[in-house]
Structure 1
């Protein structure tokens, strides 16, 4: 495969402060993260206890900014070692952290995580990974799927975070990739990202047991994805990972049916086809934009000037299996979107596997 020409990337995220809880300081991984942060010139604060609190300014925008520039090193509770199903992406959710430094005005975490949007990374990574063997061969997505069984038992690391975004300070993703690489079992770690600094991952002994997916949207919608790497950089990073032997994929999300979406997404598929030509075992996940009243209220407070359409136009209410309600595109819009992507992918990336549409 021929490597594409270099493209600009974003600067690594650098928080204003790193907070170390008392319990976290007992873990070697926490001490390594503190040393990395101090070496990068970040203020490291040792908390007297395990509560992560910030002074709350009266200005909600200031409070948001303070939280988004804070990394807290905490101990994951026992519940994080009891993995939860995460269909349709993977068999199980494996959380390395919660929270994300990006500024996406459609953020899926809004309304899902309690409290201010501080990024919390887990010090007890060894305990979390040590829980994996009990789940091997279990699950209902890839473990029992004829079409995806060759992936083995799958563990999704990017449900509540973007692990590559925080990797320069945490090293958690590299550690997890190497851990799965040593695992003598049919299993796969999965992560998706809007960032592009994959250089530290390329030479890891992954043995094909980690799949990276780049989360992409057209350049025309880049205004909804603040603080992330350019889409071209993400696609190039995906190519680099494929050349390093990793299985890779695209997560096209959230698909936004804004004016001109056909042209915008057509160009995105053209760019992907050019940069990913010849990449083996390419997967694609297609996720349409959705929100609920809680996430909309949070996002309106975080991004009051956003032009992202979160009205009820061309929308319908869908109830989840847990009884929650969310606003999704109505049936006619969904049909147009799905037909466009299925036809466009078949024409441009015929060897790619579409894993799911939602």
Structure 2
């Protein structure tokens, strides 16, 4: 599945990259790629000013290598207790609702940070300062959970470098902490990382017909579901993300069929530990404009001013969400449908 995603022929790299062992390792994996020096992994005019109609080429052909400067941690309380410093930014996939694209204004290929030792050391120090979690919460009853992939997909990153393997190994040795990341890709390499229950993978799912339109360049939903038992047998804690919930006529039938697919495929051992996150669609005018240049069919579902309202995000941006009174009713109906079809699936949070 991952091979068609990446055909790297150019690498943009900061000057410090080759001073790091991980940087040299990645460059050695792509010996034929053109190397283009840049001052900053954030400021690459060739990517920002690309043809908006050719949205996918940069994601397939370009790789950015940089050094992570800020090693700060942010409280979360939803998917995790804390958002850890990221080891990457951007993605080879092209989900039409992706908020990372909102920030960049155009296609955002994978950027990998090569100072993995510093990032792992920062996580270990932060976890040690927390001590034991003494009050259970919806994130986890015992462990402090760190989101590792806020701005990318670590299953894809694992095809580029050993950063993900190093993160999984780190959390094996942190008894008071767990790592966590969401994914829409299937990478068999993850099965050999020996997580020993200390890394949580959140498999993102939506009805297959919807995914074929919106989850561009991702693994088919059936493959994602089939991977869940394998990941669990390999030692991961596996949850599911129903995200985003995009409303259209017949949505309850579509999601009900997805829940039945899951119920049929998941063994009892997975069901006993299963939990879900439910995230209703949030959209954005800037992303809408980007999508209209390369994927207008998606916008027929995502851009619905008739049932959406403006929302100011935590970062101060103006986004669109389903109108508040209606959203609450639709969300309650979604949760009730899930409870009827998969009563064993605990909802960790929904919004």
- TM band (smaller chain): 0.7 to 0.9
The aligned length equals 340
Q: Residue 8 of structure 2 contacts residue 60 of structure 2 at CA under 8 Å; is this kept in 1?
A: no
Q: Of 19, 25, 28, which aligns to 2:21?
A: 28
Question: Where does structure 1 lack aligned partners over 5 or more consecutive residues?
Answer: 1-8
1 or 2, which has the higher helix percentage?
Answer: 2
CA distance in 2, matches of 1:86, 1:147: 12
The correspondence for 1:203, drawn from 170, 192, 198, is: 192
1, 7, 11: which is aligned to 1:15? Answer: 7
Partner of 1:285: 277
CA–CA distance in 2 between the matches of 1:295 and 1:217? 20
Structure 1 stretch 62-71 or stretch 29-38: which is displaced more?
62-71
Aligned to 2:341: 348
Rounded to whole Å, the distance in 1 between the matches of 2:183 and 2:157 is: 11
Change (3 A) 1:234 1:58: closer
Secondary structure of the residue aligned to 1:350 is: coil
Could you list the per-position Cα deviations for residues 75-121 of structure 1 after superposition, in whole angstroms to 9, with x for gaps in the alignment?
111x1x11222341112222120001112111221222467523211
Range moving further from structure 2, 327-336 or 212-221: 327-336
1:75 aligns with 2:67: yes
**Contact 1:235–1:275 (8 Å) recurs in 2:** yes
Indicate if the aligned counterparts of 2:138 and 2:348 stay in contact, CA closer than 8 A.
no
Of 180, 183, 186, the residue aligned with 1:190 is 180
Aligned equivalents of 1:12 and 1:207: distance in 2? 30
- Cα distance, 1:122 vs structure 2: 0.5
Q: CA RMSD in A?
A: 2.5
Q: CA deviation at 1:267?
A: 0.7
Structure 1: distance between partners of 2:167 and 2:102: 28
Shift of 1:240: 0.6
Correspondence for 2:158 among 156, 167, 181: 167
With over 3 angstroms needed to count, the CA separation of the structure-2 counterparts of 1:64 and 1:238, relative to structure 1, is closer
Contact 1:316 1:329 in 2 (8 A): yes
Asked if structure 1 preserves the Cα contact closer than 8 Å seen for 2:68 and 2:114, the reply is yes
Deviations 1:146-178 (A, max 9, x none): 444434111112210011123112222122111
Q: Does 1:232 align with 2:232?
A: no
1:120, 1:174 → 2: CA distance?
17
Distance 1:101 1:64 in 2: 8
Query: Which whole-Å deviations, capped at 9, do the CAs of 1:295-337 have from their partners, x for residues lacking one?
Result: 3233333434433330311112233345433211123432343
Once structures 1 and 2 are overlaid, which stretch shifts more, 172-181 or 121-130? 172-181
The answer to whether residue 238 in structure 2 is matched with residue 248 in structure 1 is yes
Contact 1:284 1:355 survives alignment (8 Å): yes
Deviation of the 1:351 alpha carbon: 2.2
How far apart are the structure 2 equivalents of 1:317 and 1:145? 34
Structure 1 residues 98-107 or 53-62, which shifts more? Answer: 53-62
Q: Is the 8 A contact 1:21 1:74 kept in 2?
A: yes
Indicate how the Cα distance of structure 1 residues 322 and 226 shifts in structure 2: closer, same or farther if over 3 A, else same.
closer
Residue pair 1:217, 1:253 contacting (<8 A) in 2 also = yes
Change (3 A) 1:344 1:128: same
CA distance in 1 between partners of 2:37 and 2:93 (Å): 29
SS of equivalent residue, structure 1 residue 169: coil
Structure 1 range deviating more: 129-138 or 346-355: 129-138
Partner of residue 119, structure 2: 128
Q: What TM-score do you get using the length of structure 2 for normalisation? A: 0.88
Distance 2:320 2:277 in 1: 20
| Pairing partner for 1:215 from 166, 185, 204 | 204
2:148 pairs with 154, 157, 161, which one? Answer: 157
Matched, 1:66 2:58: yes
Tell me which moved more, 347-356 or 256-265: 347-356
Secondary structure of 1:268's counterpart equals helix
Task: Check conservation: 2:186, 2:227, Cα contact below 8 A.
Answer: yes
CA–CA separation in structure 1 for the residues paired with 2:147 and 2:257: 29
1:206 aligned counterpart, secondary structure: coil
